[in-house]
Structure 1
Amino acid sequence: MCGIVAYIGDRDAYPILIKGLKRLEYRGYDSAGVALLDGNDLRVYRKKGKVSDLEAHTEGKSKEGKIGIGHTRWATHGAPTDANAHPHTSGDGRLAIIHNGIIENYASLKKELISKGHSFESETDTEVLGHFIEEIRKSNQCSLEEAVRIALKRVVGAYVIVIASKDDPGTLIAARKGSPLVIGVGRDEHFLASDATPIVEYTKKVIYVNDHEIAIIRKDELVLKNLTNEEQTPYIHTLDVELEAIEKGGYDHFMIKEIHEQPNTIRDCLRGRLDVEAGRITLGGIREYAANLNNTDRIVFVACGTSWHAGLVAEYVFEELCRVPVEVEYASEFRYRNPVIREGDVIFAVSQSGETADTLVAIEGAKEKGAIIFGICNVVGSSIPRASHEGVYTHAGPEIGVASTKAFTAQLTVLTLIALKSAHERGTIDDKRFRELLAELYRIPEKVKQALDMDEHIRKIAGKYKDAHSFLFLGRRYGFPVALEGALKLKEISYIHAEGYPAAEMKHGHIALVDENLPSVFIATRDSSYEKIVSNIQEIKARGGKVIAVVSEGDDVIPQMADDVIEVPETDELLMPMVSVIPLQLLSYHIGTMKGYNVDQPRNLAKSVTVE
């Protein structure tokens, strides 16, 4: 889980690499480094810490070079240190390599190389790979391109690598398997990166490298080959991302910017898909396999983290509207527990980045057993959409903050559209209910905006509870997945222990934790379980607990019991998660900033989890 950037052309590489690394720092930020190639002079600078620490480290040093590779790291092998930072060099110092992913058989390769006289400066699998390529090149007297090809046939694991060589100072070599790589195509120049954010200001033309492909890149030429040395035809895509979308736009953090973008991102999800007047939903990404979805008797959602919570909400929505059994699986468990998959089962793979390694491997296994895969992703051209039979992009725009916010509500929007369309075509809801929900879904962006208007009120509540050591988040029915997501956000951003539960479940053990120092956050909007949630709040208050309640506008019951109340506009309970999650995102943000943490880059986390 690292960020990769590289450049080859006629510009100075260093400024492009540094700017690119800053844009990719959300993918990994415990160390950073660059390698610059100027003729056959190869200079490598590495530093533990942020990209700014690398900049300070290179101050006053030579930064010449029209070719360069750069890297921000999220540690997998070895602690965050200068020695473990990328780029790494080969034993003879003639190659520099950067890598995203994990080489699973690095230990056996390392043992083999040590027996041949190699020694290592770091604890990383990446340095081992660099030495391995060097050893193959020397022992086979072959080109670097051929050495890379031979090496990757023996490598087990996931990777994107980019290599610069003193012996071929006009060429970069890159390869991928299971981790993302985008190549920007300019005029006599090429840009490489883990995603499009470092590229968009230079060119809108990009190539998405496929698994098992090697790219041989010169400033005026790009050749793609597979591991059997067959040349591939690259397909050039045009980016629709604007530079403004990856800047903070006057906000203090990307996280708060992305929280406040949600009325627009939900509208973007609905645009061109929802026609309230005609009573129609159009989903261009689900056509060929629509009948499979409408006729299946089993749906499985496979996801991780926040996307798993979106899947839980979707479970309630699909079962209620479509009357079909639904399961929600952690991708990391699903892929290992030999699940029962039948031909015709429908699996939704939900991922913001489209590169989540566990989810990708899980759906590949399910495809082999005859399942139909629908990808629900935000990043165009990412791996999961390409591995799926069909799917729908959420169009939330780049999400830079590591803790997902707008991607969650965008996923809920898209999944609700799919469920509504399928239910209508199945005949499991009548036309009147269908049209009511379409109209209410159309109003959700405005209701999210009203929820965001509570920002200052929520900030004051955050000030009261920022020093708590633990939180409970409680909800029923559609409020339960929202409680899980609220607890996750608080953990990610403030490092406060928090747990989410079904509100009724607290009586089976968790209520033992309740005292005057434990805040309980209730998702307590007016719905079919409202009276039950009122009883649960009374149970907490009877034991001296503090209660923060997210309630429907105009509620005159819960405010008499709760210590603090956050009102949100009333909506159909099936759609309420898109509204009720907003206060929880804001609460987490404000507690995190009040505690002085970097909420965009929380410790130990990375945005795109491309390792298993």
Structure 2
Amino acid sequence: MSGIVGYVGKRSSQQILIDCLMHLEYRGYDSAGLAISNGNEIEMRKEKGRIQDLEASIQLDPILKGTLGIGHTRWASHGTPSALNSHPLTDNKENYYVVHNGIIENYRQLRKVLITEGYTFLTDTDTEVIPHLLAKYDTGDLKETVRRVLPMLQGSFALAIMSKTQPDTIIGISQENPLILGYGDGEAFLSSDISALLSYTKEIYPIKNNEIAVLTPTTITIQTIGGESVTPVKSLIEWDEEEITLQEHDFFMLKEITEQPKAIKQTLAGRLTASSVSIPELDTFFEQFQMESFRKVDIVASGTSYHSGMIGKKIIEQMLSIPVEVSISSEFSFEHGLLDDQTLVIVLSQSGETADTLSALKEAKAHGAKTIAITNKKRSNIARKADCMICTNAGPELAVPATKAYTCQMTALILLAIALSEKVSGPGNKMTPDMLEALKELPNEVEKCLIMTQDAIDKFAQVTDDQDHLFLIGRGLDYVLALEGALKLQEVAYLHADAYAAGEIKHGTMALFTPGIPVIALATQAHLREKTISNIREIKARDAYVVGITTIGDESVAEVVDEVLYIPEAHAFFMPILAAIPLQLLAYYAGTVRGYNVDRPRNLAKSLTVE
């Protein structure tokens, strides 16, 4: 969602801030703004729309030149998208400048009090209470004023703050919301995400809860809210700058779809042995907790990660023979079953910062449940707060639609299922040898799938160009895959795509099938194929246009559909990974043929850091 950047150094801050904001575009935003200081005064510029609109405004009417500043991309959560509501926001005397990501939950109460005391609000945002509070409790020292105000704010938030009384200083704060400090040669950076920093530094420190980062041209210090000094333990960014560039591709989405063989190989790297899996991150977890003591597993996630979790549920249940429930993160915190120290909760989040999933994790831990996080960000809040973290190592994913994050999450869940099954006397041990062989071949099979399906799917996307509706059907794991395929088509092609369990279409959905309407029938699960074919015949009897997706060597599906798309055959548990490839490609081409920016779907954000 909203993105924060900051810079202190010797170079012109304007272009650095603009460049960093552009690297945060994938988070989703509706407006952008900057505040620049030359060490004596501060000037602000804000625009609704794209970062390019802000840049064009500055070119037409140059802003103050300076070597220190903060910037922001806003994704509206309070107040409509507008230049007025965009950040930075200031107090009535324009002394304090604040950029904010997150939610101030008690802003209404704070706003009422401030209004009665004569403070005037110009925006509809929750953020505006912050500069007014800073003005009200101004001590003459920026750091001390911030210390006085922070305890009054409830919620999860990240802040970067400047003041005209100390125009050579930036304060950075992270409270359950990511803000990363980057160290350069005589300069420092702030960013909501490491992707904005790759061009400038690889040495970082994620600011932690109850810490204040104070950046000046000569010093960079970390202190607690109570004033104690903190010695930051710096980390090195493992990603390369080329990983966040398009290279020969038109869109990041296609680049990231084609990167899946490499990404899955990275997820598997160092985790396969001759007879089992080795996940070092789990060693301490298994030393502390006995798998035999767990009576239930809960998997919690949102969006595409939720679909990964649904696949994981079916696999873990079969391998461990214990109940597994899968829940949507936003529902879990308020509507969950029994949680105690005999419950294992697995949370999934590509960014590791999804607010709903973070809340679900806190709820699980509050009830004594043991937690494992699967994420792509090692230093994220979710990774730090779970009892154990498994990193997918998929590399940066900058398109809003999740592609390689999805398949790598499923790969990690399979690894985890094998590791867990070794600790219990379930049927998983008998399955492990075949699964290990399939895992070793998985990156190659995904590569084959890309080669086999890309051109065919491009042609089918042309067929769907004049359609407003599309259906996907499947049974078992194929039904879960259909849900993910529908989500992708909704996200990037703005198609009304719906997924149904194939056996259920006669219970109402059949009324929606009209001549020529496109239907994708997934039939990759061999033991369910005949049943799915029977459902396809029912649909064809209503003159729908059916495209079947099945495995090489199967001719039965081809006999009943209008078109058939073949993919490599693998272990049943791995088919949702392979079959995801043509559905991702279909969404990509269906979106591009309509002229949409598939990397930045309207109204959507990559990292949802507010509930």
Under TM normalisation by the shorter chain, which class is it?
over 0.9
Which residue number corresponds to residue 513 of structure 2?
514
Which residue number corresponds to residue 283 of structure 1?
279
| Native 8 Å contact 1:300 1:326 kept in 2 | yes
TM-score scaled to structure 2, two decimals?
Answer: 0.97
Kindly indicate whether residue 192 of structure 2 is the aligned counterpart of residue 191 of structure 1: no
Separation of aligned partners in 2, 1:425 and 1:370: 21
Pick which of 168-177 and 252-261 moved more: 168-177
Over the aligned positions, Cα root-mean-square deviation in angstroms equals 1.4
% identical aligned pairs: 40
Q: How far is the alpha carbon of 1:81 from its aligned partner?
A: 0.9
Q: How far is the alpha carbon of 1:517 from its aligned partner?
A: 4.3
Which residue number corresponds to residue 206 of structure 1?
204
Kindly indicate whether residue 33 of structure 2 is the aligned counterpart of residue 33 of structure 1: yes
Classify 1:526/1:111 alpha carbon distance in 2 versus 1 (closer, same or farther; 3 Å): closer
Separation of aligned partners in 1, 2:337 and 2:34: 43
Separation of aligned partners in 1, 2:416 and 2:557: 34
Classify 1:489/1:430 alpha carbon distance in 2 versus 1 (closer, same or farther; 3 Å): closer
Kindly indicate whether residue 20 of structure 2 is the aligned counterpart of residue 20 of structure 1: yes
List runs of 5+ in structure 1 lacking aligned partners. Answer: none
Which residue number corresponds to residue 463 of structure 1?
462
Separation of aligned partners in 2, 1:167 and 1:323: 64
Which residue number corresponds to residue 437 of structure 1?
435
| Native 8 Å contact 1:314 1:415 kept in 2 | yes
Classify 1:49/1:204 alpha carbon distance in 2 versus 1 (closer, same or farther; 3 Å): same
| Alignment map for 1:257-296 (pairs within 5 Å) | 257-275=255-273, 278-290=274-286, 292=289, 294-295=291-292, 296=294
Separation of aligned partners in 1, 2:499 and 2:275: 37
| Native 8 Å contact 2:104 2:153 kept in 1 | yes
Which residue number corresponds to residue 94 of structure 1?
95
Pick which of 227-236 and 540-549 moved more: 227-236
Q: How far is the alpha carbon of 1:526 from its aligned partner?
A: 4.3
| Native 8 Å contact 1:69 1:162 kept in 2 | yes
List runs of 5+ in structure 2 lacking aligned partners. Answer: none
Q: How far is the alpha carbon of 1:339 from its aligned partner?
A: 3.7
Separation of aligned partners in 1, 2:537 and 2:418: 36
Separation of aligned partners in 1, 2:276 and 2:140: 60
| Native 8 Å contact 2:140 2:165 kept in 1 | no
Separation of aligned partners in 2, 1:348 and 1:432: 24
Q: How far is the alpha carbon of 1:411 from its aligned partner?
A: 0.3
Q: How far is the alpha carbon of 1:437 from its aligned partner?
A: 1.0
Counterpart selection for 1:388 from 386, 389, 392? 386
Counterpart selection for 1:354 from 352, 355, 373? 352
Q: How far is the alpha carbon of 1:450 from its aligned partner?
A: 1.3
Separation of aligned partners in 2, 1:430 and 1:558: 31
Q: What whole-Å deviation, never above 9, does each CA across 1:214-258 have from its counterpart, x for those lacking one? A: 211223422222333333332101111100011111100000000
| Alignment map for 1:43-442 (pairs within 5 Å) | 43-60=43-60, 61-137=62-138, 141-275=139-273, 278-290=274-286, 292=289, 294-295=291-292, 296-337=294-335, 339-429=337-427, 433-442=431-440
What amino acid is the match of 1:418? L
Q: How far is the alpha carbon of 1:172 from its aligned partner?
A: 0.5
Pick which of 597-606 and 563-572 moved more: 563-572
Q: How far is the alpha carbon of 1:165 from its aligned partner?
A: 1.4
What amino acid is the match of 1:490? L
Q: Does the residue aligned with 1:328 lie in a helix, a strand or coil? A: strand
TM-score scaled to structure 1, two decimals?
Answer: 0.97
What amino acid is the match of 2:299? F
Separation of aligned partners in 1, 2:15 and 2:342: 51
| Alignment map for 1:527-546 (pairs within 5 Å) | 527-546=526-545
Separation of aligned partners in 2, 1:489 and 1:293: 39
Q: What whole-Å deviation, never above 9, does each CA across 1:461-495 have from its counterpart, x for those lacking one? A: 00001221112221111111111100000000011
Separation of aligned partners in 2, 1:302 and 1:293: 21
Separation of aligned partners in 1, 2:155 and 2:423: 42
Q: How far is the alpha carbon of 1:431 from its aligned partner?
A: 5.6
Separation of aligned partners in 2, 1:442 and 1:369: 38
What amino acid is the match of 1:205? E
Pick which of 62-71 and 599-608 moved more: 62-71
What amino acid is the match of 1:287? D
Separation of aligned partners in 2, 1:430 and 1:382: 31
| Native 8 Å contact 1:377 1:394 kept in 2 | yes
| Native 8 Å contact 2:474 2:502 kept in 1 | yes
Pick which of 461-470 and 286-295 moved more: 286-295
Q: How far is the alpha carbon of 1:543 from its aligned partner?
A: 1.4
| Native 8 Å contact 1:468 1:517 kept in 2 | no
Across the two proteins, how many residue pairs are aligned to each other?
607
Q: Does the residue aligned with 1:274 lie in a helix, a strand or coil? A: coil
Q: How far is the alpha carbon of 1:171 from its aligned partner?
A: 1.1
Classify 1:338/1:585 alpha carbon distance in 2 versus 1 (closer, same or farther; 3 Å): closer
What amino acid is the match of 1:558? V
Q: Does the residue aligned with 1:280 lie in a helix, a strand or coil? A: coil
What amino acid is the match of 2:366? E
Pick which of 601-610 and 173-182 moved more: 173-182
Pick which of 424-433 and 320-329 moved more: 424-433
Q: 4+ runs of 1 displaced by more than 6 Å?
A: none
Separation of aligned partners in 1, 2:226 and 2:559: 71
Q: What whole-Å deviation, never above 9, does each CA across 1:334-379 have from its counterpart, x for those lacking one? A: 1012542021210001000000001111111211211111010001
Classify 1:338/1:324 alpha carbon distance in 2 versus 1 (closer, same or farther; 3 Å): closer
Classify 1:108/1:425 alpha carbon distance in 2 versus 1 (closer, same or farther; 3 Å): closer
Which residue number corresponds to residue 499 of structure 1?
498
